[in-house]
Structure 1
Amino acid sequence: MDQRIINLFDEYTHEPLTRKEFITRLAKLTGSLTLAMSLLPMLENNYAQAATVADKDIKAEYITYAGAEGVTMKAFQARPEGKKLGTVLVIHENRGLNPHIKDVTMRVAQAGYLAIAPDALSPFGGTPINEDEARAMFSKLDAQQNLTNFLKGLEYLQKHKKGNGKTGCVGFCWGGALAAQLAIHSPDLDAAVAYYGRQPEVADVPKIKAELLLHYGGLDERVNAGIPAFEQALKASNVQYQLFVYEGANHAFNNNTSPARYNEAAANLAWDRTLDLFKRKLK
């Protein structure tokens, strides 16, 4: 697919671009409205591709925990039965808690961890089915309250009777940026994995105590522009980290419900590296 089309879709998913504007510009790129509409299924998330299935060895359920003052956070939780487990907080993209992120949470549990995926839109009642509505709701989130809500999620895991006291997080896109913020604001976090997330302010990097694992798509120019300054700050602050750029991969290359951007080879390699870090730091 023409990279200009993928870049336009990336702009649509991250900027205040209305669906009407997106379709109009897509039609100009493709040459016709008919062709533009035929490409939409390849660009937009198709949650039928999310592999979430019942697993008799995994206990999956919806839970709540106390977030910032006055906020009850909703979350999807999954864990295997058995001994005390390392714990992982899964952070969704800027579309909210959807079937793809629930699938990722199940995969973390299947790897042997207690995992929860909080719904950032809990203050508004939770993630709506319509993704454009969800995107609009993200702009209304209070940044400090949202950070507190996810820090409270880490506390929930750290105190969980089935947990072993070791905690990591993994975030995607919007969640990748938030994973870095959790590493900055939670000195007890053991490991943080960010997939194609916007980098934090370099002045905050010295606060990071967790080991970082950073995944970027080689074609993701928007996010990758912040890598050099971030990496320089990480080195200067002696933060333990690994950084990988997957050549030929787009933003959201891990999301297997988005056919045009999903890159199976990059996704599998990044996931193996993610589980390797969790095995070292959380077991």
Structure 2
Amino acid sequence: MSYQGNDHIPKEAFDWYDEYAHGLMDRRTFMKKLGTLVAAGYSMALLTSALLPNYALAEQVSFNDPDIKANYTTFESPKGHGTGQGYLVIPQSNNASDKASWPVVLVVHENRGLNPYIKDVARRLAKAGFIAFAPDALYPLGGYPGNDDDGRAMQRSMDREKIQNDFVAAARFLKAHPLSNGKLGAVGFCFGGYIVNYLAAVESDLLSAGVPFYGTPASEALRKNIKAPLLIQLGELDERVNNTWPDYEKDLKAQGVPYQMHMYKGAKHGFHNDSTARYDKENAELAWQHTLAFFNTHLLL
């Protein structure tokens, strides 16, 4: 089961949620604004159930699937928080035990920690033939707390530079994994999309391919370092992120970076996340097909 449509929810409600989810509006103001829609005849229960995630809807690949093996593992992060932890998923099908090496993909969560949706994305990648590793930025504080509001507050309280260094360390850890073929991809969503752009910029030879979903670019000073091919995934209605694209594209062109950009018609910020009403099934599935094809092109030896 997953959300199939959201035409019954006014667009401004999604805009308010986007501001709230990214720290541009506090919860009290967000709920007050939703109250204006209740006064106009909408049900508060309908609005909150549509806007807030229901992670029971986000499992496409079970953690018990025999084609994968998932566990948690730690890695060293001397320039970050010292030690990090992530969710590592390794394929078990197609004579996996006989395969010497695999393409590897780092999966980067939104601004609220390693929630069930992101873990499922990692399992989907493993099901498709990639070793996937999804770090939890909140591990130094005990890990994802089980709900997005607390997770968002926890991540906001942390040193952003150390978080970025943790993801660099996680990328190096995965690239050097004994089963890795040495080709590292990265896919991320929202804040995770930014981290993918950052990983491509902070070290020119770290990534072999990056797929940022609705993520803002790295700082202008770092963009000159980008060499890895990028697949930029944007939703047509995501004005906040889309406003950063023209300058980013200009810099990618100036550096000769190979890139593709897909703008998904009618899609909102977060359209790939199948745990909320922002989910756009048709566009999400198409974007995922593009993602797998891109990784197959750039990560297979």
TM-score normalized by structure 1?
0.95
What are the Cα deviations for residues 133-176 of structure 1, in whole angstroms up to 9, with x where unaligned? 11112222222211211111111112111111110100000000
What are the Cα deviations for residues 159-209 of structure 1, in whole angstroms up to 9, with x where unaligned? 111111110100000000011000011322100100001122333222001
How far apart are the structure 1 equivalents of 2:147 and 2:132? 25
3-state DSSP of counterpart to 1:254: coil
Letter in 1 for 2:287: A
Q: Are 2:202 and 2:222, in contact at CA under 8 Å, matched by a contact in 1?
A: no
Aligned-residue CA RMSD (Å): 1.5
Letter in 2 for 1:232: K
Letter in 2 for 1:49: L
Letter in 1 for 2:143: G
Letter in 1 for 2:37: L
Match of 2:230 in 1: 212
Query: Could you list the runs of 5+ residues in structure 2 that have no partner in the other structure?
Result: 1-8
Match of 1:68 in 2: 78
Provide the identity percentage: 41
Deviation at 1:244, TM superposition (A): 1.0
Aligned length: 282
How far apart are the structure 1 equivalents of 2:281 and 2:254? 34
Q: Are 1:42 and 2:50 an aligned pair?
A: yes
Moved more, 128-137 or 158-167: 128-137
TM-score normalized by structure 2?
0.90
Q: Are 1:211 and 1:240, in contact at CA under 8 Å, matched by a contact in 2?
A: yes
Letter in 2 for 1:61: N
Query: Could you list the runs of 5+ residues in structure 1 that have no partner in the other structure?
Result: none
1:55-134 paired onto structure 2 within 5 Å: 55-69=65-79, 71-81=82-92, 82=96, 83=99, 84-134=101-151
How far apart are the structure 2 equivalents of 1:154 and 1:204? 18
Q: Could you list the runs of 4 or more consecutive aligned residues of structure 1 that deviate by over 4 angstroms after TM superposition?
A: none
3-state DSSP of counterpart to 1:203: coil
How far apart are the structure 1 equivalents of 2:175 and 2:27? 41
3-state DSSP of counterpart to 1:202: coil
3-state DSSP of counterpart to 1:56: coil
Q: Are 1:230 and 2:248 an aligned pair?
A: yes
Letter in 1 for 2:169: K
What are the Cα deviations for residues 36-75 of structure 1, in whole angstroms up to 9, with x where unaligned? 2331111111011021412112011111111235522111
